[in-house]
Amino acid sequence: MVHGEVHGAAEVKVSPELEKAVLDNDEEKTVALVEASSLTRKCGSCVACCIYLGVEEIKKDHGVRCEHLVRHKGCGIYDTRPKQCKNFYCLWKLGLGSRKDSPDDIGVVFDAYEKNGQPVLRAAETREGAMSPGTRGWAFAQKLMVGHAASILHVMRKDGSRSIYTL
């Protein structure tokens, strides 16, 4: 587990309680940073959530390409897709960022949740190294945290490791 500050990536100590709370997804509540009714973006060719999202209903692990993903078509079971897939909206689809910040372009899917009353920004790499300091993913995370008062960044790396950063 790596800990650090978002701006300087300096190592900081995060309390064991906070670390457990952030990494324990059993009680997380999705944070709506933008009203779902304001959705104006379409996924288009982006299928990053089909890699990032773990879906219990179809026994799909986090970070593994979904077996129902059809090349150049998208979801092969779209009309009957699991509820977890239907209800997931990445922050880009909710209108945050520009076209150049889309998950398929930067290799990172962003969403947000609340843990113990604190907003947490989650960044899941779909491309190795996409959330390294100096990357477009890292810069977008900084912008999202400052603009939306999230003080904790939970990074899920493509290699399976996780990092927690504070603002």
| pLDDT for the residue numbered 149 | 73
pLDDT, one tens digit per residue, over 47-94 is 999 988 889 999 998 888 999 999 888 899 999 999 989 888 888 988
Point out which residues pair with 111 in neighbouring strands.
Answer: 122
Residue ranges of the chain whose pLDDT lies below 70:
1-40
Instruction: Judge if pTM exceeds 0.85.
Output: no
57: buried, middle or exposed (CB in 10 Å: 19+, 13-18, 0-12)?
A: exposed
CB 127 within 8 A of CB 120: no
Look at the chain and report how many structural domains it folds into.
Answer: 1
- Number of neighbouring beta carbons within 10 Å of residue 18: 18
Domain limits for position 127: 2-166
